[in-house]
Amino acid sequence: MNKLKAGIIGCGNISRIYLKNCRMFESMEITACTDIDMSRAEAKAEEHGIRAMTVEAMLADPGIDIIINLTIPAVHATVCLQVLEAGKHVYVEKPLAVTREEGRRILELAASKGLRVGCAPDTFLGGGIQTCRKLIDEGAIGVPVAATGFMMSRGHEYWHPDPAFYYELGGGPMFDMGPYYLTALVTLLGPIRRVTGSARISFPQRTVLSEPKRGTVIDVKTPTHVAGVLDFASGPIGTLITSFDIKAGASNLPNIEIYGSEGTLRVPDPNTFGGKVLLRKAGASDWEEVELTHGYTDNSRGIGVAEMAQAIMQGRPHRASGELAYHVLDAMHGFHDASEQGVHYTMDGTCDTPRPLEAGEVL
């Protein structure tokens, strides 16, 4: 199989796993990188045997087909639009953009140029959630009627080396971790019809407790506890809570559970690729662990862009699509809007449910 060539814009923490993992895929390879700090790009390039280039040179290089946008959320849209204007496909870390308007512009420009937009998270392509999708499709829990999701944490100032952007607009627990949960739920239950919710800034300031910025005070500009309700177009009602306000840093709540007419499915952490899948049939006295039916169970970040590259070469839709990412972005804003306005928010359109991976499918 031919491989599409990719370049990375943004050599921060997340670039490490992309540079490591993308070596294992058959459909693409990373050949270049760049960063606002070129010394950082040069260090990554030397470590991984690729080229360090300026952004301008990368966008002008006819040998690069896809740009992987790993910049901070505030400039996701700006960089994506630059890439598309240069005539290249783009795959961006989550979220697709900070605002709905930016997200729509990205999709519209891509459509006008016949280019692809892909977006993380791609954890839904891992063996854990794909096994859950297979169980639901096969009727293991009957007809799905409801779902719950919980992401309860104490915030990034405890561990992240530079956590301030998590408390800016486009950050917060919903925009940071919500994409994993919402993408998993759409994969398992289909698109969302409407949402409502409540959101608040519980603590208006945060003090950084990690190095090297220990003692820095952050002014919080986005809600840090968001409780939402989702009505799925297929019928189920979901509940999703994301929080940076659990000061103990501990919770006994499950990550995701799907409740059906014939049983309950406990879905592994959607920020992982594998994990334990538990099934409890109606009338059963206990949970049973289900053996994973699909591969890519280790940290496989990059699988989304590899699958997109394969889809481009095969002329078929890709799974971690811009449309799916926009649907998730719309829902995240919908929770905040509903809280501010005291209403239900009806989603701005819909998206296709990602097609499941075949067991043993190689990307």
Distances (CA, A) of 225 to 129, 252, 354: 25, 17, 29
| pLDDT tens column, 264-295 | 999 999 999 999 999 999 999 999 999 999 99
**pLDDT at residue 169 in the model:** 86
pLDDT of residue 193: 98
For residue 58, which amino acid is it? M
Rounded to whole angstroms, the Cα distance separating 241 from 233 reads 20
Nearest Cα neighbor of 258 from 225, 226, 280, 242 is: 280
Q: How confident is the model at residue 36 (pLDDT cuts 50, 70, 90)?
A: very high
Q: Which residue has the tokens 């559970």?
A: 257
CA angle (71, 78, 314) in 5-degree steps: 80
What's the mean per-residue pLDDT of the chain? 96
pLDDT at 136: 98
Q: Answer yes or no: same fold for 4-123+300-320 and 127-292+329-346.
A: no
Question: How would CATH label the architecture of 4-123+300-320?
Answer: 3-Layer(aba) Sandwich (3.40)
For residues 201 and 166, the answer to whether their CB atoms sit within 8 Å is: no
46: left (phi over 0), alpha (psi -120 to 50) or beta: alpha
Hey, how many other C-beta atoms are within 10 angstroms of the C-beta on 227?
16
Above 60 in pLDDT, residue 170?
yes
Give domain limits for the chain. Answer: 4-123+300-320, 127-292+329-346
Q: Supply the pLDDT for residue 165.
A: 87
When pLDDT is cut at 50, 70 and 90, the band that residue 249 belongs to is: confident
What pLDDT, on the 0 to 100 scale, is given for residue 311? 97
Question: What mean pLDDT comes out for the span 44-63?
Answer: 97
pLDDT of residue 63: 97
pLDDT tens, position by position, 121-144: 999 999 999 999 999 999 999 999
pLDDT at residue 1, as a whole number: 57
For 281, residues 6+ apart whose C-beta sits below 8 A from its C-beta are 141, 262, 263, 288
312-339 per-position pLDDT tens digit: 999 999 999 999 999 999 999 999 999 9
Tell me what the mean pLDDT of segment 161-176 comes to. Answer: 91
- Class of the CATH domain delimited by 127-292+329-346: alpha beta
Q: Which residue in the block uniquely carries the two structure tokens 């063996």?
A: 127
Q: What is the mean pLDDT of residues 13-39?
A: 95
Instruction: Please check whether residue 277 is in contact with residue 289, taking contact to mean a CB–CB distance below 8 angstroms.
Output: yes
- Region 283-311: mean pLDDT is 97
Nearest-5° Cα angle at 148, 124 to 73: 50
Three-state SS for the chain is: CCCEEEEEECCCCCHHHHHHHHHHCCCEEEEEEECCCHHHHHHHHHHHCCEECCHHHHHHCCCCCEEEECCCHHHHHHHHHHHHHCCCEEEECCCCCCCHHHHHHHHHHHHHHCCCEEECCCHHHCHHHHHHHHHHHCCCCCCEEEEEEEEECCCHHHCCCCHHHHHCCCCHHHHHHHHHHHHHHHHHHCCEEEEEEEEECCCCEEECCCCCCCCCEEECCCCCEEEEEEEECCCCEEEEEEECCCCCCCCCCCCEEEEECCEEEEECCCCCCCCCEEEEECCCCCCEEECCCCCCCCCCCCHHHHHHHHHHHHCCCCCCEHHHHHHHHHHHHHHHHHHHHCCCEECCCCCCCCCCCCCCCCC
